[in-house]
Amino acid sequence: GVRVTPEELRSVNEVLECYVGSHDFHNFTADKCSDESPTETVRYVTRFSCGEPRLNSFGVEYVSLIVEGDSFIYHQIRKMVGLAIYMLRFREDGERVPEMKRILGDPRRRFVPLAPSLGLMLERVMFQKENKTHGGYHTLLDFGCVERQMLEFKVSRVYPEIDSKEQAEQKKGESSQHLHSSMHVWLKFIDRTRQAWTKYFDDLWMPGPTDLDWLFNQGSGGGGPRNGPRDHEDTARIMPCLVEAVAACGGKCTFYPDLHEVFVERLRSRRPLNKNGREKLKQDIKAFRYAGCSTQLLTFEGDAVVMAPNSKAIMEEFGKLEERVDRSLLSGVGRG
């Protein structure tokens, strides 16, 4: 089987080292609540590096990634891993570190792929500050005395569970695989949509709030749950994001999982749509006409969603002529 080389491990560590220190991880989390300040996303990473490679019972070699920090925000670690894998997979040696630093220091919204959760685990809680402050008065909080038992538990229980789930997901047919169910499935998705993750997007078409769960269940009326994005105002609010997502994928992509995942990341939604929500969204896309006219921005060819040749120009004109369009379709919505 394929085995990692010392040179490859050095490349991984060079990329991971970019995360060490204090950074604003606003691009490494889901949609923030409107009352959160920018400082809410600043975190300090004290260590991020490779562990020793291990060979599992199926003959596959894995490399552990070890990250330590004061605290982490929602999806931060999975997105740090996702971006690192993207850089290592699609960027040359001399490009990776400068690009990582640009993204980490960029105040604009950037696509950052979300790696699967399978394999992510909390190994231990560190109490250095507490021990330093109260060590003279209380028993030190330290796991050193159970280090061997912790390692044995990982090797005998945790690792086999991860390996079995990964192996089981790979044997499933593509139609029944969940995008984030295994690294193997996710890597194929990243290969298909690689160009989308290098695109910049401005905030013009960001509905606010951008959490799909809120947007599709509350909507502009703010009156209680609905079964999906059924009314014209909700569809108009998200259509520009859908067009941008398809454009980022090259103008054509499968509706699910490719468009759905890129679209969810475009909105920074905390939750993707369930199967019923996706089907209703698909029907809305098919039925939607720009500003009540006959123009259809997105069409379907089988399971693939395709951007109409004039879609991007229409959306640009839509922004330029905002004052001539019903503002209720464009205005941000507050949390009621």
What residue spans define the domains of the chain? 6-203, 213-217+232-333
Give the chain's mean pLDDT: 79
* C-beta atoms surrounding 316 within 10 Å: 12
Q: What is the mean pLDDT of residues 225-240?
A: 60
Q: Tokens 């044995």 map to which residue? A: 152
Q: Is the pLDDT of residue 34 over 80?
A: no
- Helices marked H in 18-122: 76-90, 93-104
Structure confidence at residue 36 (pLDDT):
53
Q: Is the pLDDT of residue 33 over 50?
A: no
Q: Is the pLDDT of residue 128 over 80?
A: no
Architecture of domain 6-203: 2-Layer Sandwich (3.30)
Question: Residue 273 is encoded by which pair of tokens?
Answer: 């749509």
What's the pLDDT band for 334 if we cut at 50, 70, 90? very low
Q: Is the pLDDT of residue 252 over 90?
A: yes
Q: Tokens 């699967």 map to which residue? A: 116
Alpha-carbon separation of residue 132 from 21, 43, 113, 142 (angstroms)? 21, 21, 38, 12
109 φ, ψ (degrees, to nearest 5): -75, 130
Q: Is the pLDDT of residue 304 over 90?
A: yes
Ranked by mean pLDDT, which of 75-89, 229-243, 292-306 comes out on top?
75-89
What's the pLDDT band for 9 if we cut at 50, 70, 90? very high
What SS3 class is residue 237?
Answer: helix
Q: How far apart are CA 118 and CA 182, in angstroms?
A: 6
Q: Is the pLDDT of residue 144 over 50?
A: yes
Alpha-carbon separation of residue 21 from 17, 40, 128, 299 (angstroms)? 9, 16, 17, 46
Burial of residue 332, with CB atoms counted within 10 A of its CB: 0-12 exposed, 13-18 middle, 19 or more buried:
exposed
**215-240 in b/e burial notation, b at 16+ Cβ within 10 A?**
bbebbbeeeeeeebbeebbbbbbbbb
Ranked by mean pLDDT, which of 81-85, 120-124, 255-259 comes out on top?
81-85
**34-73 in b/e burial notation, b at 16+ Cβ within 10 A?**
eeeeeeebebebeebebeeeeeeeeeeebeebebebeebb
Q: In this prediction, what percent of the chain has a pLDDT beyond 70?
A: 74
What SS3 class is residue 64?
Answer: strand
What's the pLDDT band for 140 if we cut at 50, 70, 90? low
Torsion angle, CA of 120/45/7/114, rounded to 10 degrees? 40
Residues 6+ apart with CB under 8 A from 264: 212, 272, 273
Structure confidence at residue 335 (pLDDT):
29
Q: Is the pLDDT of residue 254 over 90?
A: yes
Structure confidence at residue 37 (pLDDT):
59
What SS3 class is residue 295?
Answer: coil
Residues 6+ apart with CB under 8 A from 136: none
- pTM assigned to the model: 0.82
Structure confidence at residue 221 (pLDDT):
44
Torsion angle, CA of 130/131/135/140, rounded to 10 degrees? 120
CB 246 within 8 A of CB 305: yes
CB 24 within 8 A of CB 42: yes
Ranked by mean pLDDT, which of 85-89, 244-248, 295-299 comes out on top?
85-89
Q: What is the mean pLDDT of residues 124-151?
A: 70
